[in-house]
């Protein structure tokens, strides 16, 4: 009898593995559902840029980046927990695993809130008082939630969209009778070092502007 009861008992390690499997399954479901929302946010950013509303475009891309980073961080955390749980000395890492699972549950709840449906996403395009309040709430909620690296990636994506739109709508005029290359030489391509220096300078300027905006708010 005693042996039968002990064999049916679920160990702490078994419980942790089961909890991780449940979190992984839920994360996979969220990844599929949130892709629809992030795709629409990208479209909204393009539409806003086309209308000249850079602020709304940036907000849409920031929210998209935040959602993607939540999914990515949770995925990485679960991978790390799986490695810990498979450790032979599970008792030594049990507290870390339990704490990690608790954090994972909190982040999954955050992701669930982010998936409020496309109705919330469409408010990014609206221009009434309710929509403006909603956009302000989103902006304030994102403040401090994203790293400088995330913010830089968002602004790089926005600039790429701007160049894409400008390239599609603006073509340089060529003077009648002009011969390409006559009288002037094309600028030499920039070296990787020069491009990297420009990138670092842009990042510093963006960080400064974000700091000023945060202090003013």
How much is the pLDDT for 6?
46
Alpha helices per DSSP H over the chain: 2-8, 12-50, 54-85, 90-114, 118-122, 129-142, 148-169, 192-216
Residue 21 has φ and ψ, to the nearest 5°, of: -60, -40
How much is the pLDDT for 50?
93
Q: What is the pLDDT along the chain (217 residues), one digit of tens a residue?
A: 455 444 456 788 888 888 888 888 888 888 888 888 899 999 999 999 999 999 999 999 999 998 888 888 888 888 888 877 777 677 778 888 888 888 888 888 888 777 666 777 888 888 888 888 888 888 888 887 888 888 999 999 999 999 988 876 555 555 555 554 555 555 666 776 655 566 666 666 666 655 555 555 5
CA-closest candidate to residue 61, choices 45, 39, 50, 47 = 45
């Amino acid at each position: 009898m005693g042996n039968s009861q002990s064999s049916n008992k679920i160990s702490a390690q078994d419980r942790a593995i089961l909890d991780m499997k449940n979190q992984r399954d839920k994360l996979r479901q969220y990844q599929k559902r949130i892709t629809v929302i992030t795709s629409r946010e990208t479209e909204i950013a393009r539409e806003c840029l086309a209308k000249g509303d850079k602020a709304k475009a940036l907000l849409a891309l920031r929210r998209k980046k935040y959602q993607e980073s939540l999914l990515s961080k949770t995925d990485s955390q679960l991978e790390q927990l799986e490695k810990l749980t498979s450790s032979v000395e599970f008792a030594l890492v049990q507290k870390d695993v339990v704490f990690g699972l608790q954090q994972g549950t909190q982040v999954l709840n955050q992701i669930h809130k982010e998936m409020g449906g496309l109705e919330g996403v469409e408010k990014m395009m609206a221009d009434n008082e309710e929509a403006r309040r909603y956009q302000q709430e989103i902006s304030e909620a994102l403040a401090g939630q994203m790293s400088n690296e995330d913010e830089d990636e968002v602004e790089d994506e926005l600039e790429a969209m701007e160049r894409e739109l400008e390239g599609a709508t603006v073509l340089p005029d060529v003077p009648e009778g002009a011969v390409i290359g006559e009288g002037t030489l094309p600028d030499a391509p920039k070296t990787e070092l020069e491009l990297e220096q420009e990138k670092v300078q842009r990042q510093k300027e963006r960080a400064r502007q974000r700091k000023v905006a945060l202090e003013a708010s």
